A and B are shown apart, each in its own frame.
Chain A
Amino acid sequence: MESFRIGSVLGTQPATALQFWVAVDPEAAVGLDDLVYLETESAAGTVRFYGSVDEVRKIHEGVHFESDTADVVSGLIPAVISYTAHVLVTRIEPEEFIPPNPGDAVWRASGADLERALFADRMERRLPAGVLRSGEPAWLNFDFINGTAGAHVNISGISGVATKTSYALFLLYAIFHSQVLGAEASNSRAIVFNVKGEDLLFLDQPNALAERREAETFRARGLAGSRYQRCGLPTGPFRSVRFLAPPRPGPVGGPLIPHVEQRQAGVGTYLWTLRDFCRDRLLPFCLSERETSLNLSYLVGHLAERLARLAEADGGGQAPYLLIREEDFAAAEPQPGDDFEQLGRNTLSSLAQLVDFLEFKLLRQDDGRGDPRWTSSQNSATLQALIRRLRGVSRHLAPLVRGDVSAAAAQRHRLQLLDGESQLSVIDIHQLHSQAQMFVVGVTLHQLFEYKERFGQRPYVFIALDELNKYAPSEGDSPIKDVLLDIAERGRSLGIILIGAQQTASEVERRITGNAAIRVVGRLDPAEAERPEYRFLSRSYRERAAVLQPGSMLVRQPEVPTPLLVTFPFPAWATRLSETGTSADEEAARASDLLS
């Protein structure tokens, strides 16, 4: 593209090596985030400055009083409109930190100059991050995402306006549909938790509105094509997705039906067997509340250990339920059809029964003294508190942790995130109670982390998780926060990449947001924007964050000294049933066709 002169370095404000003002030429139009460059002569030769505009202003020059404006407009006083723009220097080549000369011509950077201004020329693997105001693509250095030089993405912004989830999905789409993964493309996996509505259950369907809206958006800015084209991405739905939802609550032993409303076909269910729950020591993930006391967490750890031993030694093999030999404890009457071998023993086939069993062990056995091997000398208040809380949680977890399914069904519905064919797994948790959501997220990430610890960095696993403030609040400790901290701090070397999001970064553990190499901000609450967590944005950008439109994000990456304002394309995948172009009835009809 041709270089276009926009003005010259202003002489009435000091120009420094890091920032300067530009007197904008009358016919030029300069806006925030425009990228510019200039050349200045020094003793060392020609030095090129690249920068981005972070402030623009116009003022009547030659008038003294504010009321003079009216007189200028009415034609009484002559005045000149002075148009100036402030530029933050992003790059100097060669690195001679001299100030430019007042009067030096300033040019709009495009093409190769634009890439140099944004250091894109130094990026070996470039991930499209959206498009700039000029319509040119903005790039992220993938080495700062995949762990080579840094890892993780963190997105902040007000719910509903900041389009955090949409941007996270766009990044995932770009990762899987551009060439950035190279040879890793086929093995890499991503996990997305669907937290809100059934927004993410149609990712594999094309969005009927996408092309039209995308073309309209671009045409309105006087540009041709679409943002997908500019980013070098195909326009379409996610290619390889599977959907997993919790089973619908129902009677013991009832069928496993995914608990979703709008999507009828192609949704699997997931669950954990009671045996897995005990053997894998998942009890701590039931109690993710912040105010867990030291005594209680010690007790929980101890009980998790006891249950693990029980699950390994009860003689039940791989059966989903547990067998116990406790004469005084009767969990359930033997049912007709029970295995003959198991007669005379008690089976635990639901979480509620497990809690009953724990209550028996801690509070009822031996005339209320409990089993000393289980109580681990905790006083009864602590024991009672635990049972009370487990009782509360078990209700919400009942559909998820089961002993009443067949071994084959358990095997089929076990969450095996890395083995499947699908690149992207959408795990639906939106119907679950908050405590059950914590359990699913915590256990999933925990098991993933353990798996990757054993099997190493490749292939990559990307995790998109909103509401980090819930899972890893800045205060308190919980098993799920520990997992997230592990991922934030060690995930880089294990190939686990967290694309985390939250409304307010100030409420999230700082070690998690701080470890994200890529920081993204959508619309922020103005008071929130003033918090220290956003100091990576300069003042003018923090002010901007308060007025960002949906679909616009400020993206900050380590190599580029200034944040970039990007817009990302309208989703090419459906984000609700109506966008698939089929009605709910058609969808139901299609589902019944598949069943018949």
Chain B
Amino acid sequence: MAFLLDPWSAERPQLGSEDSGDAEEQGAEVELLEALRAKPAEPIPAGFGDLYVVDGSRRLEARLLEERPDGLHFAGLGQFGVGAVRLGGEGKPAAELTGLRTERRLLLSGELSSWQEREFCLPAGPGGSGACTYLALPGAENQPEGASQKLQAEMLQAEMELAERLAEQSPGALILLDGPLRGQASQRRVLGYVKSQRTQYLRGAQAALLSELQPGERTPLMRLHYRYQASRLSWYVRLASPRPYQDPRSGLIRLEAFAPETGELAGWVRELASYGGTLLGKLASRPHQDQRAPQNLLPTGALERAIARRMGDARLIYRRIQRRLFQEAAS
């Protein structure tokens, strides 16, 4: 048996945020818009404006169980954070964090029953640690992973909202959103950035092109038609050659943008596709910097650390949850 290494380690499952290879994705109808060959990366045009890299991360801080008359209910306390890194165009050299926010949720299955508090609060502790409030959020599935999935959905929603908001605030800017695009189609300059490739949009003989791509090069543009979702434009870009021990899809990312179902291809997408390889090549991480290199971009890594810092120390929070529940049990 010959195994190759999947850089997407099992240790950090990006549940749902990545290309999940689900039925709907696989059911997409792929329409090639250009000839099937590798396209070189063009230089970034002068006057390229701001680029926002949007990402989120989440953390289930405690799983809770609740005995109710109708049986056992799964719940959880979790936190998610979203934010963006603004990379300045000409004359604005410093990267800066923006839109950073974290939220705490008490994730409950089913409806919010009247006796339940609307929030779960950890009182302020000694040494200046503030109170932590988890807002109750019903609607999680009543199963062990239900709370986690609900939290994930919340985070994705927040990411998308942030991306839309940034796009609205700075019309010339390009927004790079982590993961595939979701929700309503929009005309804004928001680009989905898919790091791991589970779904194969290019199949059979077409797939061979993926192995042939050199760093910086891209595949032809594809239009992805779905039965229930808005159609999207997509293409693959190779950031780096895979190492001999890696799967040939390592170093490959897929970009996508909402595409109007009919009419002309949005001009900015075609333009971007020409120099996207150059741009992303600059942002790609190097193997020593990130286990998920090169796909996990440097600003994304920095953003993840900033969000983790904002979320606080998980062990400390877990202690406080323990203490709170202990006090309740004791009283």
Asked whether, in the complex, the Cβ of A75 is within 8 Å of the Cβ of B88, the reply is yes
Find chain B residues with CB under 8 A from A59 CB: none
Task: Contact check, A78 vs B299: say whether CB atoms are below 8 A apart.
Answer: yes
Kindly state the separation between the CA atoms of A64 and B305 in the bound complex, as whole angstroms. Answer: 10
Residues of B within 8 A of A67 (CB): 289
Q: Is the interface of A mostly helix, strand, loop or mixed?
A: loop
B128 at the interface (CB under 8 A from A): yes
- Mask, A431-454, CB within 8 Å of B = 1, is 000000000000000000000000
**Distance in Å from the Cβ of A41 to the closest Cβ of chain B?**
13
Q: Is the CB of B282 within 8 A of A76?
A: yes
Closest to B300 in A: A77
Q: Choose one: A65, A77, A78, A103; the contact of B288 (CB below 8 Å).
A: A65
B298 at the interface (CB under 8 A from A): yes
B10 within 8 A of A: no
Choose among A64, A65, A77, A102 the residue that contacts B95 (Cβ–Cβ < 8 A). Answer: A77
Distance in angstroms between the alpha carbons of A75 and B92 in the assembled complex = 8
The residue on A at minimum CB distance from B94 is A75
Q: Is the CB of A76 within 8 A of B87?
A: yes
**Contact: B95 with A75, CB < 8 Å?**
yes
Q: Are A78 and B289 in contact (CB under 8 A)?
A: no
In this complex, the member of A62, A64, A76, A103 whose beta carbon has the largest number of chain B beta carbons within 10 angstroms is: A76
Of chain A, the residue at the smallest CB distance from B289 is: A65
A18 proximal to B (CB < 8 A): no
Q: Are B93 and A77 in contact (CB-based, < 8 A)?
A: no
Q: Are B93 and A74 in contact, CB atoms less than 8 angstroms apart?
A: yes
Determine how close the nearest CB of chain A comes to the CB of B90; give it in whole angstroms: 10
In chain A, what residue has the closest Cβ to B282? A76
CA distance A468 to B299 in the complex (A): 62
B289 touches A64 (CB 8 A): yes
A77 touches B128 (CB 8 A): no
A residues in contact with B94, CB < 8 Å: 72, 75, 78
In the complex, which residues of chain A have a beta carbon less than 8 angstroms from the beta carbon of B127?
A: 102
| Interface hits, A197-242 → B, CB 8 Å | none
B96 proximal to A (CB < 8 A): yes
Q: B302 contacts A79, CB within 8 Å? A: yes
Please report the C-alpha to C-alpha distance between residue A78 and residue B289 in the assembled complex, in whole angstroms: 15
> Could you say which of A64, A65, A78 contacts B85, with CB atoms under 8 Å apart?
A78
Docked CA distance A79–B288 (Å): 19
Decide if B93 touches A78 in the complex (CB within 8 Å): no
Question: Is B135 located at the chain interface by the 8 A CB criterion?
Answer: no
Q: Using an 8 Å CB-CB cutoff, how does the interface string of B266-308 with A read, 1 for contact, 0 for none?
A: 0000000000000000110000110000000011011101100
With A64-B289, A65-B288, A103-B128 as given contacts, are A78 and B96 in contact (CB-CB < 8 Å)? yes
Q: Give bound CA distance, A583 to B303, whole Å.
A: 71
B97 part of interface (Cβ distance < 8 Å): yes
Contacts of A72 in B (CB 8 A): 94-95
Do B87 and A75 touch (CB < 8 A)? yes
Chain B proximity of A38: nearest CB distance (Å): 16
Q: Which residues of B contact A68 (CB under 8 A)?
A: 289
The answer to the question of A417 belonging to the interface, with a C-beta cut-off of 8 Å to chain B, is no
CA gap between A105 and B303 in the complex, in Å:
30
Q: How far is the CB of A100 from chain B (nearest CB, A)?
A: 13
Interface membership of chain A positions 47-83, coded 1 if the CB is closer than 8 angstroms to chain B and 0 otherwise: 0000000000000001111011001111111110000
Q: Are the CB atoms of B128 and A78 closer together than 8 Å?
A: no
Contact of A77 among B88, B302, B309 (CB under 8 A): B302
Assembly CA distance A64 to B289 (angstroms): 8
Among candidates A62, A73, A103, residue contacting B305 with C-beta atoms closer than 8 Å? A62
Contact in complex: B298, A77 (CB < 8 Å): yes
Chain B residues 88-111 with CB under 8 Å of chain A are 88, 92-97
Contact indicator B93/A75 (Cβ below 8 Å): yes
Are B306 and A77 within 8 A (Cβ)?
no
Question: Hey, which chain A residues are within 8 Å of B85, CB to CB?
Answer: 77-78
A103 to B93: give the CA distance in the assembly, Å: 32
A76 touches B298 (CB 8 A): yes
Q: Which residue of B lies closest to A61 (CB)?
A: B309
User: Cβ of B95: which chain A residues have Cβ within 8 Å of it?
Assistant: 72, 75-79
Complexed CA–CA distance, A103 and B288 (Å)? 36
Quick one: which of B85, B96, B97, B305 has the most chain A CB within 10 A?
B305
Question: Which residues on A sit within 8 Å (CB–CB) of B93?
Answer: 73-75
Shortest Cβ gap from A61 to chain B (Å): 9
Contacts of A102 in B (CB 8 A): 127-128
Q: Roughly how many angstroms separate A131 CA and B97 CA in the complex, as a whole number?
A: 43
A63 touching B302 in the complex, CB below 8 Å, given contacts A78-B85, A78-B95: yes
Distance A65 CA – B293 CA, assembled complex (angstroms): 14
Considering the complex, give the chain B residue whose CB is closest to the CB of A80: B97
CA distance A102 to B127 in the complex (A): 8
CB distance from B51 to the nearest CB of A (A): 10
Question: Is the pair A78, B88 in contact by a Cβ cutoff of 8 Å?
Answer: no
Binding site for A on B (CB under 8 A): 85, 87-88, 92-97, 127-128, 282-283, 288-289, 298-299, 301-303, 305-306, 309
In the A-B complex, list the 5 residue pairs whose CB atoms are closest, starting with the nearest: A78-B95, A75-B93, A77-B302, A78-B97, A75-B95
- A-B CB contact pairs (8 Å), 29 listed: A62-B302, A62-B305, A62-B306, A62-B309, A64-B289, A64-B305, A65-B288, A65-B289, A68-B289, A72-B94, A73-B93, A75-B88, A75-B92, A75-B93, A75-B94, A75-B95, A76-B95, A76-B283, A76-B298, A77-B85, A77-B298, A77-B299, A77-B301, A77-B302, A78-B94, A78-B96, A78-B97, A78-B306, A102-B128
Besides A75-B95, A76-B87, 17 new A-B residue pairs in contact (Cβ under 8 A), listed by A number: A62-B302, A62-B306, A62-B309, A64-B289, A68-B289, A75-B87, A75-B88, A76-B282, A76-B283, A76-B299, A77-B301, A78-B302, A78-B303, A78-B306, A79-B95, A79-B302, A102-B128
